[in-house]
Chain A
Amino acid sequence: MNTRDGDAKRDWQTLALVVLTLILCIFVANIHLEVRGEVADIDIGMRFFHSAIVSFMLTTGLLFMFTLAFAHRQARITEQALGMFLTTVVAVLVYGWAIDAGMLLPGVVGDVWSQFSTTVLRLLVAECAGLLALGICFGLLLALVSGRRHADDPLLELSSEDFSAADGDDSAE
């Protein structure tokens, strides 16, 4: 890696560009291969909205539980716990309001629980897919990276048992 100033930022910008390009390619592939209106019928905007709100709600709830689990006498966590709890409640209220306003997932029963449970189940599947993808890519990468053999350090072969020159220095002191 180049250690000149500013190169780390440029490297990460390049990596971000690679990721965005790949996402764009997948989007274009989906739209280009649409034949019978599958893309228009799915309403990706509503899927995105429901997934975003529910994942926000679940993540803040999870962080609230973690805050409670790690609380101890010396920690000042009142603001943190209260903040995450209130954020979760606000997310729940916003979601309920959105459902009542008619922002529903297509093809799912219109009550709040059905909309919420369907979104949670889809998010669970997506998270499992994410964990699988991460495991396959980085598991294989780690196994390959660790296979490189290095030459032994030449310093390890030097003997450190001959003290004749060192004894002479001690007698001088």
Chain B
Amino acid sequence: MTTIADEDIVYRRLHQNCFKQNGAVSSAAFKTNSRPDNQISVDLARLTTPEESVNRKSRSGFRLGELEAGGPRQLGFDVIHDRQPDNAAHSLIVGENSAKLCKQLALLVRVIPDLYS
């Protein structure tokens, strides 16, 4: 398993529905329906590319957000590598989540310009 440093970048796919009118990312982007609920899937940037990550589901309508692993850790989360058979870069933001933390995660995100699935 790969160790993720605070300076490492992780990617999160962002559906167009997750953007507000002013272009900001909504906290809803981090309210996940995965099981269990307190694991947010991301891709470790150095094990993939932005193009591969945003197109991983082969569907249109997505943009790609990036944030440093240290950001979620400062909020109390852990960021761990979780390699999957179909995604070597798969990682998780793990920890007890809340509406406030989802909002704070959204504020950490930088949307990569000019990149769409």
A and B bind: no
